[in-house]
Structure 1
Amino acid sequence: MTTLISISVAGRCRSRAWACALALAFVVPLAFARPAFAQAGSGVAAIEGTVTDPDNRPVVGALVIIVSSETGYERTVYTDARGRYVASGMPVSTYVVDVSAPAFAATQRTGVRLSVGATETLDVSLKIAKVTETVTVTAAAPLLDKHETATSSTVDARAVAQLPIRGRDFTEFVQLTPAITQESDRNGLVISGQRSINSNIAIDGTDFNDALQGNQRGGNEGVFFFPQAAVQEFQVIRSGATAEIGRTNSGFINVVTKSGSNNLHGEAFYYDREKALTSPDAFDRKLNNQQSQFGGAIGGPLQHDRAFLFGAAEQSLLKVPYMVQFDAQAAGVAVPANLLALQGEQRGTNY
């Protein structure tokens, strides 16, 4: 069984360093008995852009406030001498961006989605203020980033939650992107023809590679897997990963987990296959092949806009049958009684 519990604290980063530190989520994993744009880092996102006036000249010192619609997390930045602002290390979420400057009408952008490993570019043009004026714009789909050198894509939350998958192993979703396959013997990720030992996978910026065999943890042993119910989305970089990622020049899988929010949310599931639902094997024997998989996740606020809790757990139980049959023995040869007792249907389990 695998369990993930995360507690996140949202702060407003305006003055003190400790307030910014509180804004970072920390994740404590407990095991008991599981088209993107410029790279923003492992397990996080970023947003940047330029603020200009009606004549397309940079606005210096404009105030940019970025607030998560889900958790209330807030980041405040100012534009530089070129009218440019950058907010890196942002939690993956949907944001509202407010831009204001003296003598200009405040502008608000809603529905700005920041995806894992991607840097969203949001340029804002301010209008001259008349009396008291606010302009609200709903964010549109991002355009192609012509400055990005990496070849990458994102498997979003909807795909992770709704697409069918074998064994609830989220790494199989990686095959939705071109030029990626999985090894049949140990499920290692072969990215752009590279050996699976060269691939790199991180969850919330933490290494998730098998130190012995080289591919992802749980690739060789299904009992050591990460709960899919805890995965929010992930970025797949097939080539051109930046130097900050390290470890390999092959593919990189950049995973971010879910977290609590101001709304209580969760899920539960149970999958089961019994003997009555199992077809006969190649020898027309209907053996007792049982598989059960169950789990769930729940998240919500501990304190509105401040502290949140999220937990997920999954368990997979397998009973795989096999037959023991002794051939007819030569005259005078007898099979020992303790071995003969093993004849017939037997079952192996993972628990």
Structure 2
Amino acid sequence: MPAAFSRLEVAVLGATGSIGSSALDVIARHPDRLRASVLAAGRNVGALLDLCRRHRPRHAVIDDASAFPALRDGLRAAGLDTRAHAGDALAALVASDACDTVVAAIVGAAGLPSTLAAARAGKRLLLANKESLVLAGELLMRTAREGGATIVPIDSEHNAIFQCLPDAHARGGLRRIVLTASGGPFRGRGRDTLAAVTPEQAVAHPKWSMGPKISVDSATLMNKGLEVIEAHHLFGVPGTRIDVLVHPQSLVHSLVEFIDGSTLAQLGLPDMRTALAVGLGWPERIESGVSGLDLLAQGGRLDFEAPDQEAFPCLRLAFEALAAGGTAPATLNAANEVAVSAFLQRQVGFLSIPALVEDTLAALPPIAADTLEVLAEADREARRHAEAAVTRLT
């Protein structure tokens, strides 16, 4: 094993979520190479303590400061020497020598400060927090370049593109990127059939196991819209050269087309551990626990279709926000978070999600996104507007 890849100390942010669980599964398969040194969670102290007992990290962080005493006392009661921290300490911790690699899997805008801190400190950043790129893509990519950080995207689609475009030489001949989408649980349904769908139906993703917010985003196609914005920043490709195809089998995770007519695609079973193993082992390949792809066993066919942007307008809204630039993507993201939360709480219907996002974008014209402070204010203003709109609907 090269010296550069002697035992990596890994911080898993969002450790109790689905991506965090997958990351810890891969890490546990390579005890001689990887160690979970920092585990961070939002407010689920019990789940975080269970992970600490299993993985014995050096540090554990709970974002909810009121839960800190329970974390501290729980670690002591378990006889662990893991140090307990409250949320405010997370950014400093990921920038310290407590870790070499950071799995950024905190959902929502809350993940931005720690992601930026890891990039600024030159860490290897396994990026699953899409909001960091949607809110502050230019800032994050610039910070990573200046800090010497390596970003490996962990979304299956962007990880696929990363594998197909390993170097600048390949990117020089790139014509376009094609992101694939499963279509979510409502693929093939017309807009007039979606008004009465329930949160339970929306989170029942046909292929992937994800948290409720990301599952709803997949059902509305907003998830794919956010990924378009991410791809623009990660790979330096304008939105006019990024396309989306619905691929219900979820075996082709993305495609890249080159100017010579060649198209490369990355295929694999729909399991986040593959992308995480790519990030944790890069540029080597390590075992992920995912079996190889048997196309015959999967039905022997691969289908593709155009997304229905009339039934699922969130994808169109994301393309429009990317084209508008400035604070528009931050406004889009914040309004969507508010709308999805309201839907999950049964305050608004499924079709109100794109309506609330579109209303917020129309009400708040974009301005130049020069600083994190400007982006934070755009995020707050969009949330205020969307929350007021939700109140009017309930």
What TM-score, normalized by structure 1, do the two folds share?
0.26
- For the pair shown, the structure with the greater C-alpha radius of gyration is 1
Structure with the greater relative contact order (CA < 8 A, sep ≥ 6): 1 or 2?
1
Higher helix share: 2
What TM-score, normalized by structure 2, do the two folds share?
0.24
Higher strand share: 1
